[in-house]
Structure 1
């Protein structure tokens, strides 16, 4: 390997256009890196033949002088995105062997732009999890290790394979999805950048649904500029997605001016939680100082309904999941249980779902069915919807006061060890989303930026929450944070 896989999208774009390298050379190096990176368990399906074929086509396009920014860029695709003729299982046994006859809108846009698919990436089953340990493929492993330890760490979830692949240079960038933090939390755990766009900015068509009013696809990259380039390629209205917004897509990369003088950055007092590690508090305060030094005004803000966000999320998301996952019944596609003599269709449904769905998915489906049931709909689901409205109003009020973005930690800790929470109360795992779920409930854009290391040498990230539809401004502020933090950490290679 010539280590071309370590390039950013920005660097590769320049080298490809200057004809210093070819897309085939770049792709072959990434294919070799993927083959050598099995210990990370980031890929659940490898597609080297498709990648090299796409790379050759990208070279022809580059030679013509009319190539988009993503042309020739090798990517990993989260297993939640349907890819025509390529296994798309959402990391679940119940979708064993499923190869779609269609392509998701996001991947269609990427292939139309000349991007290259290296394969499908590991994830939590149906995107339900914060550690990638619910996957039928086994957990993705974080390239980072604690100082003096060989203990494997989580790459986060649900987009753990995407985060591990980007951090481990097994691709230049990857797609992720974010329902309650599943792009931003893994990015923070792996020292990468994760962008969750405004709800409706990126089409959900062809993305296996978890919670339809919360899910949003976005890029996972090695830099903020890469995130802006990638986001431009996948954004835009899609008539096939009724929740897709028919707004013009601005040039997000052009918005990265580095000038944030006079911008107001809010620090929400409700995010200062009891028990937050001193390292996270220091990181947050340092981040605020960096933005202040760059000319921004730091102001305290209040988001009073924050304390209800996690309970509301874990009512609404399972409710939508129980509805969305009802289609996986063994009749039309995927896994079907073998029945004993005399058993009927009801037995087939029950046994197929019992065999095909993992424990965390079953837990959420049962919670969802419960809160949607006739006796509890008003007490739980309707009340959670009201709370969601109040959470959105909190953000609306803050932005109406002139605040341009909100700065918070991305996660309550650095990456934890695989298996450390295996026997813990599930709520402890859910608390990983404490800083991220509000963004999904309010439909806002958010980005996680790596800004430091903890005492054990693991990456920590800060989150910026932007105004709706103003990803460009949010990413510009993120780029200033990225530049000021000067985070250049890379995991020492052990795989």
Structure 2
């Protein structure tokens, strides 16, 4: 079968010496600098570090040394992943000027493998948003239509990868922040099992939900990046040793695989999106998979459970930003209390303040039992519902988002409607499961639609293979290249 991975393609060009890593890196840097005026995908370019790594890759190639699969591959990191010596702001005014003194584990792994960092990517402030528009740098644009959002919160990574300004990127997914922008931009986004990839060095939003994962042009690329970063890390207390390599499982026959389709996930889904999903299920049937329709009533609780618990954790995690230790500090204040109050009021954007206030409210005396405790109990109910579902099916197929990418400034007009775009993605984070979004066609507005596949915990090999088989069978019909950036 013909592979669609851009990572192996670049690797082949480098190893055959058809292009040097320095030449390739300069092309990506030039495209990033030129196209970023239009897409706003990057908040910081890192040409010095990129060219230094490229020169080292060229040296190893000349010496005949063996390279890792990701060596020399131009990539990007979401701006909430710590990079030693490179400003990391979470796209918030309160962290402007903050430069970490250590690397996140995922970046340390990739740096050791000679991946080439083109720059840090745009995002919703502190990963709170579904459009990337809460960023203090302004939102990233969708390469398919720059009058549409790239999605959030990892919108900058998705825009850069879809616009050919990076071969792959790492984002974070708290309630859909990898899968939703991947769906909006017509590319692949993998949210791994909670604990499969280290969170050490990821600036926290909601610690029991956050997970780092790859955003790529193909499932093959996603599997390669996942295998590189899915390592046990003693620096992360939630890290697990159960993750298994996925790339070697690609191409296995899925005849007889049971694909579950819970009807509740399709409530409120736009008709053109629903039609694309139905066509995707027909492709699976043609590959010999069995479609199993079932009901999952408890899914209706997922959105309130997510927003109560995630905001509660955010109110705790973001308490450390006080202007004392690092980051921005207000200029004029009379005493310490006023300094902290003014720093946080000036530094945080409206959406972050809204979620901190909601989280503080549900944790306060008199409301803890009514909201937070009840949400934790319902989280257990949702986890058990997924366990019951996987007793009868191998993977679950649902929409990634009920709609295609919405217009710019849509969030400002209707914040609650924007929250509803998370309805198909948040259950995966609540239960700590792996989920992947793959392109499955286009809506009536010619914007990409994503198919979301959900697996049991640590089932990434089978999940990625199921996505790969669909991609191989349907890619020509569901993928439309964006004519920007570096085209290899």
TM-score range, shorter chain: over 0.9
Tell me, yes or no, if the aligned pair for 1:302 and 1:398 is still in contact at 8 Å.
no
Match of 1:394 in 2: 385
1:227 aligned residue (219, 222, 225): 222
Tell me, in whole angstroms, the C-alpha distance in 1 between the residues paired with 2:367 and 2:271.
Answer: 40
Inter-partner Cα distance in structure 1 for 2:58 and 2:171: 26
- Answer whether contact 2:276 2:443 (CA < 8 A) is retained: no
Task: List per-residue Cα deviations over 1:40-62 (Å, max 9, x = no partner).
Answer: 00000011111010111122234
Q: Which residue of 2 aligns with 1:305?
A: 298
SS at match of 2:439: strand
Q: By how many angstroms is 1:349 displaced?
A: 0.9
1:482 corresponding residue in structure 2: 471
Count residues in correspondence.
479
**Residue 412 (1) aligns with residue 405 (2):** no
**Residue in structure 1 matched with residue 161 of structure 2 by the alignment:** 166
Q: 1:467 matched to which residue of 2?
A: 456
Which aligned runs of 4 or more in structure 1 are off by greater than 4 angstroms? 492-495
* Counterpart residue number, 1:325: 318
CA distance in 2, matches of 1:7, 1:30: 17
2:412 paired residue among 422, 438, 441: 422
1:10 pairs, out of 4, 8, 11, with 8
Structure 2 contact 5–218 (Cα < 8 Å) conserved: no
| Separation (CA, whole Å) in 2 of partners of 1:316 and 1:156 | 22
> 2:35–2:485: 8 Å Cα contact kept in structure 1?
no
CA contact (8 A) 1:339 1:347 kept: no
Spell out, residue by residue over 1:401-448, the C-alpha distance to the aligned partner (whole angstroms, 9 max, x if none): 3x1100001111111111123122x22110110100000000000000
Deviates more, 1:434-443 or 1:282-291: 282-291
Deviation at 1:258, TM superposition (A): 4.3
Structure 1 residue matching 2:89: 3-state secondary structure? coil
Instruction: Note if 1:458 corresponds to 2:452.
Output: no
CA distance in 2, matches of 1:368, 1:390: 21
Partner residue in 2 for 1:3: none
Q: Matches of 1:331 and 1:493 in 2, distance apart?
A: 43
Q: Which residue of 2 aligns with 1:31?
A: 29
Q: Is the partner of 1:153 in helix, strand or coil?
A: strand
Whether the aligned pair in 2 keeps the contact of 1:84 and 1:102 (CA below 8 Å) is yes
Pair 18,251 (structure 1): closer, same or farther in 2 beyond 3 Å: farther
Q: Secondary structure at the match of 2:280?
A: helix
Q: Give, in angstroms, the shift of residue 21 of structure 1.
A: 2.1
Selected match of 1:364 from 355, 365, 371 = 355
User: How far apart are the structure 1 equivalents of 2:81 and 2:61?
Assistant: 27
Which residue of structure 2 lines up, in the alignment, with residue 155 of structure 1? Answer: 150
Task: After TM superposition, list the pairs within 5 Å mapping 1:50-449 onto structure 2.
Answer: 50-63=49-62, 64-145=64-145, 152-247=147-242, 249-273=243-267, 275-340=268-333, 343-401=334-392, 403-424=393-414, 426-449=415-438
User: Deviation at 1:482?
Assistant: 1.2
Q: CA deviation at 1:250?
A: 2.8
In structure 2, runs of 5+ residues without a counterpart are none
Taking only aligned residues, the RMSD between alpha carbons, in angstroms, comes to 1.5
Q: What is the deviation of 1:7?
A: 7.8
CA contact (8 A) 1:62 1:71 kept: no
